[in-house]
Amino acid sequence: MEKILVIGAGGQIGVELTLALRAKYGQDNVIASDIREPHVLLADSGPYVQLDVMNSNAVSLLVQKEKVTQIYLLAAILSATGEKNPLWAWDINMKSLMNILDICVEQKVSKLYWPSSIAVFGNTTPKENTEQKTIIEPVTVYGISKYAGELWCQYYFDKYGLDVRSLRYPGLISWKSAPGGGTTDYAIDIYIEALKKQSYECFLSEHTYLPMMYMDDAIRATIELMEAPKESIKNRMSYNLSGMSFSPKEISEAIQKHIPGFTISYAPDFRQKIADSWPKSIEDKEAEKDWGWKAEYDLEKMTAAMLENLKTVKRM
């Protein structure tokens, strides 16, 4: 039986991934942890430990005590937040990964999942259908730390045989938990504001295309990757992962089909420069070939799901 530890379980990805893992493996077999108090959706759904990933001794003792077989390391400082304090973001993003890589080797943890991001790409990267192997010159500390992390994951696989797996997430859109300070957060806020005020001021320009994905697809991709046979995983840095690509103008038009009176205005800020450095769309042929990945949600299907579900949550 697997014993899974999710570090950073209170974040945007962590909440939904923890719930999905508990549904699949049993709530007692998935330990949620975060530096904060438990998210409301996790409080009564299984074991929770308040844990600082920067404290390697505490993490190591927990892994040993609980006989953890898999770790999902989700703790990170995201792009927009990271640019406000780059050295702090670098320290947390890199030290947390190095702590867990070493613990996995020392404690003989069978699998490690660590997410990368489209933030590894930069201004010199081809913008359309960006390939798995391409020019990678990130322009944010978040992207730099993610690319460095990919190389460390490859190193630990080559040197120690650690079964580490990773996905380059596009912008992720969810309704269960709040975004965590990323450049693509507008694509969550816009739905919330559409229901609250029927208007939204976007911090990106109207024709800014970015790769995006509905959280249900991202969670499914993560679990499918981790459950794939070891011999199927050919990439030990990080797989491109593609869902859809759209602009703020296009997402607003999709919302207007459900809320005809919805209006949008534009006031680009410092996040525009970050978005402009990223691809407009990416391809994920290697993920499809190696472990059978295929997205299910497009913009229309996601918009209907977001608006329907957001109406039911308390913040609305």
Q: Which residues contact 136 (CB under 8 A, 6 or more apart)?
A: 120, 121, 122, 125, 147
Q: Which residues contact 173 (CB under 8 A, 6 or more apart)?
A: 184, 187, 188, 212, 213, 214, 215, 302, 306
Residue 266 annotated to the active site: no
Residue 191: CB atoms within 10 A of its CB come to 24
Residue 264: CB atoms within 10 A of its CB come to 20
How deeply is 276 buried, as exposed, middle or buried, from its count of CB atoms within 10 A (0-12, 13-18, 19+)? middle
- Whole-number Å distance between alpha carbons of 146 and 117: 7
> Which candidate in 48, 72, 142, 147 is catalytic?
142
What are the CA-CA distances from residue 140 to residues 66, 137, 145, 181, 223 (Å)? Answer: 37, 10, 9, 13, 28
146 SS3 class: helix
- Whole-number Å distance between alpha carbons of 251 and 184: 12
How deeply is 36 buried, as exposed, middle or buried, from its count of CB atoms within 10 A (0-12, 13-18, 19+)? exposed
Q: Angle 88-105-284 (CA atoms, 0-180°, nearest 5)? A: 70
Which residue type is seen at 254? A
- Whole-number Å distance between alpha carbons of 20 and 14: 10
Active site residues: 142
